[in-house]
Amino acid sequence: MPGSPIPASPAPIVVAETAPATLQLRRMLDGTWPLSTAQTLSHARQAVNGDTPLILCGCHFDEGRMYDLLRWVRGQQPLRHIPFLTIRVLEGELDDAMYESVKIATGALGGNGFVDLLRWERRYGPQAAGQRFAEHVKAMALGAPGHLDSL
């Protein structure tokens, strides 16, 4: 799917995250897919609709309301199908125990995976991590099945 073309007028991916993290994500995803940003839970609820192809929600979204948004999306019948990827963009890599706890909680609440971008940068290098992330985001927005458990 990474080679698949983007539809002519795609609905935007909703990015629920702080302003500094959103800026970094925009740089990483430049040209990958249109983005709609939300910095509060109420704004995210307004931005998400049945045509939303993917939600990217950061750990620092609205002072830690990432799981609130995930619960809300999974609780709305017309929105349940939307892939929901939790992400960590800024402020240092999580230790292994915290990383696993976020990953497990995301899955338990119906999310499609957790990406700690700083962990990816250490593992793959900054440029390769950004490219890999952009490819996965595009694939998920195009409807790639499954979870990102292996990442």
| SS3 state at 84 | strand
The verdict on residue 4 lying in a domain is no
The verdict on residue 99 lying in a domain is yes
pLDDT, one tens digit per residue, over 39-50 is 999 999 999 999
The verdict on residue 36 lying in a domain is yes
Answer whether 10's CB lies under 8 Å from 34's CB. yes
The verdict on residue 106 lying in a domain is yes
Residue 90's CATH number:
3.40.50.2300
The verdict on residue 129 lying in a domain is yes
Predicted confidence at residue 150, as pLDDT, reads 44
| Residue (of 139, 137, 145) closest to 57 by Cα position | 137
Q: What parts of the chain have a pLDDT lower than 50?
A: 1-2, 149-151
Domain count, the chain: 1
Predicted confidence at residue 5, as pLDDT, reads 63
- Print the domain residue range for 76: 13-141
Q: Which residues contact 86 (CB under 8 A, 6 or more apart)?
A: 57, 58, 59, 66, 70, 102, 106, 111, 113, 114, 115
